[in-house]
Every structure is written in structure tokens, then in C-alpha cells.
Amino acid sequence: MTTDAVAALDCGTNSTRLLVVDAAGRPVCRLMRITRLGQGVDATRRLAPDAIDRTLAVLREYRQVMDEHGVVRARLVATSAARDADNSADFFDAAEKITGVRPELLSGAEEARLSFAGATAHLPTEVAALPSVLVCDIGGGSTELAAGRPGAAEAVSTVSLDVGCVRLTERHLRRDPPPADQLAEARAAVVALVQDARRRLPPVSDAGPLIGLAGTVSTLAALAQGIEDYDRSKLHHAVLTRQQVEHWLAELAAVTARDRLALPGMVAGRQDVIVGGALVLAAVMEVFDRRRCLVSEDDILDGLAASLRSA
């Protein structure tokens, strides 16, 4: 058992995740389950009963893991799906009973700052030395952009875009595989949002890569490298080129979700929304003229854990 451990839990639109960190700040457990809490929220503005049930079942599992590791403090956050749903309080009440932790409803700006803090805490030396970087966290319901100096999350500038892999798929990519007109419509919508975000954010260092977070980016990196089973050591700080992102966007959009699932590196539960996620990443790299994306497996969970250890 780990003593004086802390835990970070993230109930996102597409996945529910857990990070347990020991007293020395070392990660001892990372778990991810696809729960699709945001199923249909964009249209109904309510969390669906089966989506709530899936997420609560995973939280029960995570509570057992937290007990096994001797967790003494925890933060449980909810993001885009819960922000948009009229019945979030019902889900929060049930989640609190299971975990003993009251969920925090993060604003887009709070989500972006925590993601930035996690992603920039341990960057490669050449990236950490840049005066400013751009972090892109592609979620299921929203995409957070944060620009600032590495390691200085308190001064970061943020924009939260009301688009993510699940929301974009439900709004625009209604057929499987999506035809060219749906892809063009979706891309135009995302590019317009990202162009507005670029106008609102301060300039970032031209020489630096985009720092990309979350399941879409990790999955694209796994596909590009042919990594069949998740391996953090091979994905963390791997580099995706813009050419690779555009290549995989075209490849994934040309086949059905069933065929995507058969690809080495595809995560079950992500095959139906990966085209939307890849499209968001491609649009961000296009608008901000980034030739490279640095894949970061450190993200909002790491930012949450750091906040618990410093409290």
C-alpha cells in the first residue's frame, strides 16, 4: 500500500481516468476507461441514464483502487459534458456517494490551466527553454488551448473551444465513413473556431511544436508508430508531424469504425470518434502553422495531482 498518496480523477466527455501519486510525487497508477458520459449531450443538454451508469461503475472501481493505494486526498473533476448538462447535479451527488469526493465542475479556462500545468512540468529541455508554447487538449466535448511560458500555468492565456471528438462527430460526421461534404463542413467549422482562438491568444514561439494532449493525440501517435498495445514510454514526448496527422485523418476517414478498430494502436471505444479528433488536431496545426506536435502523456491529471501535493 502507498501511504499519503493523492488521487486525481477526471470525468470527461469520452473517458473517465484516474491517477494515483505517492508521497514523493511518483505516479503509481494510471487508469482510463471509455465511458462516453457526454453521449447525446450536445443535442439533449442532459446526461443520459446509461452514460451516468457506465461512469459510476468505473468510479466504483477507482474508489477500490484508491483504497488499495492508501489515498488520503483526492480531486474529482468534470468538464465539458457536465458543463452542458442540466442534470449534472444528480450525477455529482451519486459520484460523491461512491468516491467520497464532491466533483468539481471546471470551467474551460480552469481545465486549460490544469492541462497546461501538467503538460509543461517536465518538457524536453529544448522545449522547456522556449519563452512560450501552445498546449492543445482535445477532449470529447471541448478543446482547450493554452499559451504561455512553460511551467508558469498561473499566467497562461486560455481559450476553450466548444468542439471535441464526440461533439464534432455527433454534429457533423453523421455517416460512417463520413463523406467528403461532411468532412469539409466539419473542418470549416473547426478552422473558424481555431482562427478566432488564435486572434484571442498571444503569439507563441515560432520554433516550438504544438504540445498535444489526450486520447486522440496518443492514438494517432500509436497508429503512426504501429504500437499495438498502449506503451507510455514510447508515446510520451513522441513527435507527430503535420504530414502524419493529415495522412491518418484521410486514412481513418476512408474506412468504417469497424475497420478502424482493427488497426494496431486503436483503442476500443475511440474508433467512432477518432476522425473528429484527428480533424481538430489537423485544424489546430494548420491555423497555428505548427509542423510538429509533441505528444504529452502528462496532462490535466498531473496538474490536479500537483495541486493536491502543494496544498
Task: For each of the domains in the chain, give its residue range(s) and CATH number, in order of start.
Answer: 5-106 (3.30.420.40), 109-300 (3.30.420.150)
Query: Peptide bond before 177: cis, by omega within 30 degrees of 0?
Result: yes
Q: What pLDDT score was predicted for residue 311?
A: 63
Q: What pLDDT score was predicted for residue 70?
A: 92
Q: What pLDDT score was predicted for residue 205?
A: 81
Q: What pLDDT score was predicted for residue 293?
A: 97
Q: How far, rounded to the nearest angstrom, does the alpha carbon of residue 263 sit from its chain's CA centroid? A: 21
Cα separation, 106 vs 143, in Å, equals 13
Q: Measuring CA to CA, how many Å separate 90 from each of 95, 111, 132, 298?
A: 9, 22, 40, 30
The grid coordinates listed for 141 are 466535448
Backbone angles phi, psi at 117, to 5 degrees: -60, -45
Q: Measuring CA to CA, how many Å separate 290 from each of 102, 145, 152?
A: 39, 14, 22
- H/E element, 258: helix 257-261
Cα separation, 218 vs 302, in Å, equals 16
Task: Tell if the pTM clears 0.95, that is, is over it.
Answer: no
Q: What pLDDT score was predicted for residue 3?
A: 65
Strands (E), the chain: 5-11, 15-21, 27-34, 71-78, 104-105, 133-138, 143-148, 157-161, 210-213, 239-241, 292-296
Q: Measuring CA to CA, how many Å separate 228 from each of 29, 101, 217, 219, 232?
A: 21, 35, 15, 10, 12
Residues of the chain with confidence (pLDDT) below 50: none
Q: How far apart are the first and last CA of the chain?
A: 22
